[in-house]
Amino acid sequence: MTDKKSPLHDEHVALGANLTEFGGWLMPLRYTSDLAEHRAVREAAGLFDLSHMGGITVTGPDAGAFLDHALVGRLSAVGVMRARYTMICAEDGGVLDDLIVYHNAPGEYFVVANAANADTVLVALLERAAGFDVVVRDVSSGGALIAVQGPRAEEILRDVLTEDEEISGGTTLDELRYYACLGMRFGEHAVLVARTGYTGEDGFEVWVDLPDAVPLWRAFLAAGEPRGLVPAGLSARDSLRLEAGMPLYGHELDTTTTPFEAGLGRVVKLDKVSDDGAPLEFVGRDALAARRDSAPARVLVGLRGAGRRPARAGYAVVQPGADGAPGPQLGTVTSGAPSPTLGAPIAMAYVTPEVSAEGTELAVDVRGRAEPFTVVALPFYRRS
């Protein structure tokens, strides 16, 4: 039963949002139409409530070394006010969750987990903290996370937030790169702004203390409305991330999947070393090294449809058969939808390596009919 509501819940109700359960939270699915919200993000800007995401702080003298041990990346190498996409894996190499980790200050890191996996990640980090001088703390309920995404996101942000050298972390908004963050002010209060997102567009994610969550949401709406910004829900967020070829936990990633199968082997740093130059052991290292060196049983690919009927998660990828009938199964769709930007059905799927080359003609069993799809490169969409 859903019992968690965002600090912005009443704002969503007032805007007429269609609410849905997601990761144990009641969150906006859409406000008007999926298509309108998707297009607003591609053409102007969208405003998202991401307060359902898990937030975990890791602090202490051993914080960097601990995260090197607990996660697959080398987080100790991430500069202050920078961020990194990474994963937490089980001993067998299966993905427990994909994460973004921010290095906010020396000895201080902020781990953002998916809503449905927040408890799993917290428990795993607490278990792995033994022997390290660190404090791992769940801070998910301590604030709100609001995202402004789209080509006009920066000018909207500048209207609402103010730069301040005292809290900036040594950079300016003009200098802020992708996967970097800085402190800014909303009125008299500090907020953390990161140039990150899950839409394939330029944009920002802003952490704000609870008392300022509603005023900040309303300020973004007011500044953005003349520029085409609209509030956007989970449905648009999903179609945007699919066009951008970004994985979603529970679809492209799960405990039966390693980063290598998902085409994300680059995030696994098997060459991590300790301060004395010795190979650094981290949870899942041996299993991941073995998976890297073995032939994959399946490969994640992009599929673009020739017709109009979309493939959906769980549909079978098949060999095209005679008279439109599905042939032998070659894989499974993990995510699929019509693409508003491309005007064609798109999907991500795991298929056997033999049929994973770009240009391979395949089909998807859509309710008993083999709909034609072609293997294409990911992502489907890149902003210009």
User: Residues 359-373: pLDDT tens digits?
Assistant: 999 999 999 999 999
Q: Which residue has the higher pLDDT, 323 or 90?
A: 90
Please report where in the chains the tokens 């890149």 appear, as a residue: 382
List pLDDT tens digits, range 191-232. 999 999 999 999 999 999 999 999 999 999 999 999 999 999
Q: Which CATH number goes with the domain that contains 351?
A: 2.40.30.110
Which of the listed residues 249, 275, 294 is the one where a domain comes to its end?
Answer: 294
Give residue 278's pLDDT. Answer: 78
Look at residues 246, 249, 247 and name the one whose alpha carbon lies nearest to residue 95: 249
Mean pLDDT, the chain, integer: 96
Which of the listed residues 233, 261, 294 is the one where a domain comes to its end?
Answer: 294
Q: Are residues 184 and 304 in the same domain?
A: no
Q: Are residues 15 and 144 in the same domain?
A: yes
Which domain, by its residues, includes 339? Answer: 299-376
Over pLDDT 70: what percentage of the chain? 99
Lowest mean pLDDT among 28-42, 125-139, 160-174, 267-281: 267-281
Q: How far is CA 143 from CA 1, 51, 91, 211, in A?
A: 23, 8, 32, 8
Average pLDDT over residues 153-162: 98
List pLDDT tens digits, range 58-69. 999 999 999 999
Which of the listed residues 278, 294, 310 is the one where a domain comes to its end?
Answer: 294
344-351 and 299-305: which strand pairing? antiparallel
Asked whether residue 384 is domain-assigned, the answer is no
- CB of 220 within 8 A of CB of 148? yes
Q: Are residues 247 and 361 in the same domain?
A: no
Q: Which residue has the higher pLDDT, 142 or 86?
A: 86
Give residue 2's pLDDT. Answer: 57
